[in-house]
Amino acid sequence: MLWKIGIVGFGNVGQGLAHILNRKKEILKRRYDFEYIMTFIADPVRGSLYNENGLDLDSVLKEMALKGSLKNRPEFTDKGTLELIEMAKADIVAEATITNFETGEPGLSHMRKALSIGSHVVTSNKGPIALALEELESIAKENRVCLRYEGVVLSGTPCINMVLECMSGCDIKSVAGIVNGTTNFILSKMEEGYDYPEALVEAQKLGYAETDPSSDVEGWDSAIKAAIMANVFFGAKIKVTGVARQGITKITKEDIVEANKEGKRIKLIAEVRKEGNGVYASVSPVAVPKSHVLGSVMGPINAVTFATDHLGEVTIIGPGAGRIETGQALLSDILAIHRCYVCK
């Protein structure tokens, strides 16, 4: 089967997926019998492209690297994103626009449109999954297509699919982990002797933190991931505002030193657990024993521990951000959809 793929949002993540697909085209064909053409790229800022016979990804990526724009290419189209999604009718749409925690837009509308016309959707966009997962899954079911979102919690490091597929049948009692690499980097630098403002500047200098770091340091990014895990793994209906949240902005060097004396490290921990007949989700700085696997994770690395009935504690550790890493999450979801159809 030749898959027609479209990418919505051609920033770091969208380009990361395109690089992987382009570089590994022959490997994917040989290893998985997976063949594709990229029929459209939708990005109002960088330029949208459409070719029903397939874009030359190598040429597109070179031009993007050289000029930062695709607007002078012969395949350029001024059609809006929703119109382009409907016109192209790709088999799989990879939605990789920037997350909006409050509305989920524009990604939410992109996903609604793609699913409603019968396109499978893979995404790394946290907002729509946190805010409207039940609705999106209903649209997908109605149109007999797949919605997959591996990359919304730990980027390319397996998390969602590991629990839903590799650990299916297990009862997940609780989830606790470091799901934001920026804050873990800052806390690691503070352990080296930096104070909070110095560590933040260093994180910004290295590209781990944005100019406005509030989403990371105030715990919002971790909270949206906690809400997603609560809803996906525990069947809850928790909104981001329903996650008890405390960031790291009030952590001092003295706090770090005191924890160190006790053989502990302060980590920003996202936790989800069953509580009575409900589910509780929180994000807060926690002094974790250095002997615990979460206490040993340093720098911009993520880690999540799942407490289960059949397997005890299972911990996954890996990068939680990056263009190639997140592109890999999208690719893994694309290949999962491909396998479903090959096995039919």
* pLDDT tens, position by position, 197-233: 999 999 999 989 989 999 999 999 999 999 999 999 9
Q: What is the pLDDT of residue 320?
A: 86
Query: Exactly one of 113, 126, 189, 225 is catalytic; which is it?
Result: 225
* pLDDT tens, position by position, 261-316: 999 999 999 999 999 899 999 999 999 999 999 999 999 999 999 999 999 999 99
pTM score, two decimals? 0.95
* pLDDT tens, position by position, 126-163: 999 999 999 999 999 999 999 999 999 999 999 999 99
Pairing verdict, β 278-289 and 244-245: parallel
Q: Which two tokens stand for residue 198?
A: 């110095």
- Bridge-partner residues for 3, per DSSP? 36
Q: Which domains does the chain have, with CATH numbers?
A: 2-156+323-342 (3.40.50.720), 163-319 (3.30.360.10)
Q: What is the pLDDT of residue 344?
A: 60
Query: Does 225 participate in catalysis according to the annotation?
Result: yes
* pLDDT tens, position by position, 21-61: 999 999 999 999 999 999 999 999 999 999 999 999 999 99
